[in-house]
Amino acid sequence: MNDKDAKSLKRVLLEERSRLEEELAEIVSGNHEKPGMSTHESVYRTHMADAGTDTFERARDLTLEQNVREMLARVTAALERLEAGTYGLCESCGEPIGTERLNALPYADMCIECKRKEEAW
């Protein structure tokens, strides 16, 4: 990978990290603003259907938060690999990850072949 590609991908990763951090902050602050998030008080004051909806929304929000945290960790790890000079190398076989794959998934840590093998298990 040449310097131009590395700089471009670093910019993309930094933008993605910033976007994910903002999204995470919104999710977390939204969870704290919802009634009943820390106590069951509001659940007992509402209809059972409303309580079910509240439970569904809390579960959905927690799942979204977990997904954003996982993506943020992957992006951060890619930035760390960039700094360490190992970005773009497959963590499984050590071969270069294809430029096309990195352009599609800048946080990819495996070449397409190793990823296919991993997912086949």
DSSP SS3 for 92: coil
Cα–Cα distance for residue pair 64/27, rounded to 1 Å: 8
**Is 38 a residue whose pLDDT tops 60?**
no
| Residue pLDDT, tens place only, 53-80 | 777 877 887 889 999 999 999 999 999 9
**Is 105 a residue whose pLDDT tops 60?**
yes
The length of the chain in residues reads 121
Name the region of 94 (left: φ>0; alpha: ψ -120 to 50; beta: rest). Answer: left
Both structure tokens of 49: 């259907």
Confidence (pLDDT) at 43: 47
Confidence (pLDDT) at 32: 61
